[in-house]
Each structure stands twice: as C-alpha cells, then as structure tokens.
Amino acid sequence: MSSDRATRFEFHRAELTRLAYRMTGSQAEAEDLVQEAWLRYAKAAEGGGVAQARPFLFRVVTRLCLDHLKSARVARETYPGPWLPEPIVEPRATAAEVAEEVTVALLLLLERLSPLERAVFLLRDIYDLSYEQIGESLGPPSEACPHLASRARAHVHAGRVRRAGGRPR
C-alpha cells in the first residue's frame, strides 16, 4: 500500500513543484515544500484520511507556500530591488508540458499579487480547480474566492506591483 501512495504522489509531483515554484519563485524552496507535502500526504494516507490525492496535495502545497511566504524568514530576506524568478531549464517531454510551462513574464505578473490572491489565481486560472475546492484549500468561504480571483486579475491588468508587506506601490 505504501508503494501505491508513492506512485500516486509521484504522478502529481511535477505539477505540485510547478505550483510551488509559481508561488515562491524559487525552485529550491518549491522542491522543499513539495517534499514536506509528501511527508504530510504519506502520514494522512496511512490513516485513511485522503479520499482523493490531487485535491489533498494541492491543498497541502498551497497552504505550505502561503505559510512560507508569510514567514518572518522570507520577510527578513526580501530583496528590495527588482525581483526576477530563478530560471528553470528542464527537458520537455510533451507539447502539453511545454504549453503549461510558465514564462518569466507570468512569474513577474504573479509578483503583483498578495500570497492569497496568487494562490487563488493559480488554482483557478492555471489548475482549473473549482471555487469550492479553492475555498476548502485556503480557508476563505467559497463565495469569497470569485472576488479574490477577480481582484487578482485586476491587479495583474492594472500593473501595480506589491511590496513585501503586501501593499501595492
């Protein structure tokens, strides 16, 4: 049964790593957060607490990313200059993977959003989760999720850049 859990997790690992990278902008942090999600998934699945792997894993990775972005260490280490994401060079296997890959431009756009707006934007517009699933993952009522998504899109279109404290410049 442990092998079955590992297989299910590995099936989603690349997608989870891309989500974490898009939220944090760092490949190393993304990999660490996905590894932490694996530990939590394995423990929860062992006790029979996971009905569906994908929604559970997306919820865990998103929450870990939000906690990471709100941490004192991240606030302390925030670079005051212009932010550029770490480039990732990885082989592309399929056209679908190439189409899904996020460009540096999108990562720069995501920097304009608060961590919660970024999470809702990614989960809804990139990973096509329902507002109900997003509400379960993030905590805000599912009725608030469309407003958060709309506000995130407005910030992206307006071109306002957020500071480390979350306020637009």
Q: 124: which DSSP letter?
A: I
For residue 124, give both structure tokens: 């809804």
A 10 A CB-CB count for 19 gives 26
A 10 A CB-CB count for 28 gives 10
Query: What is the model's pLDDT at position 97?
Result: 55
pTM of the complete model: 0.67
Alpha carbons 108 and 117: distance in angstroms, whole number: 14
Alpha carbons 141 and 89: distance in angstroms, whole number: 38
Query: What is the model's pLDDT at position 130?
Result: 86
Query: What is the model's pLDDT at position 167?
Result: 41
pLDDT along the chain (169 residues), means of 10: 80 91 88 93 83 87 90 61 59 54 65 85 85 83 86 78 46
